[in-house]
Chains A and B, each alone.
Chain A
């Protein structure tokens, strides 16, 4: 078995601040994903990466950057945090394409003051 680790678990920032969320997986999966989860809106894809150093934009990429420097890690940066922004950011990984099940981390809860 494997595990996905997300750090930090809770992230509190100020408006306009640049904030970075990290994700590590030891499944040796090729593809990794970042989702934003807002209450009542389900999961919205921010960025995904099909292999090391690859980046693909999802539906909600504006205001975010991502980095995949190693196969096992995938980082997400909120470029300028918005006041009253509160959401859970979920990282996931899967073996190659989307026809395979995704494995999720426990999430990072973001609060912007």
Chain B
């Protein structure tokens, strides 16, 4: 069975501070992993994805994520957040031969002045 856990429902950080959003997955094979962002009243948009190779993947707007097979994790990071990063962030997992992605419950990020 596949599952994704995002343990933090809400995260608040100050503008300019660094950010880490946590994602843990459960899957016996090699996963395909994704981070999506949802701005208010919009659908989800892809931030970045990991298929294989370098465990650190770069995404849009300065986001990056690191895959760890030993920790079953795919945490999202940003060095310096901006108020416009306030949104809900979803981690998702797919089996290599799967037909659908399984999503976590999301983390709502609030960036304060």
Contacts and interface: CB of A to CB of B under 8 A. Distances in A.
B46 interface: yes
A43 interface: yes
B90 A99 contact: no
A107 B101 CA distance: 18
Contact of A97 (B90, B99, B102, B104): B99
B103 A42 contact: yes
Interface string A21-50: 000000000010101000011110100101
Q: How large is the interface on A (under 10, 10 to 19, 20 to 34, 35 or more residues)?
A: 20 to 34
Q: How large is the interface on B (under 10, 10 to 19, 20 to 34, 35 or more residues)?
A: 20 to 34
For the residues of B in contact with A, the DSSP-based class is loop
A35 B101 CA distance: 11
A102 B101 contact: yes
B67 interface: no
B105 A101 contact: no
Nearest to B91: A42
Contact of A106 (B41, B90, B97, B103): B41
Nearest to A102: B101
A90 B42 CA distance: 10
Interface in B51-109: 51, 90, 94-106
Given A42-B90, A104-B45, A106-B42, A98 B105 contact: no
A98 B103 contact: no
A9 to B, nearest CB: 9
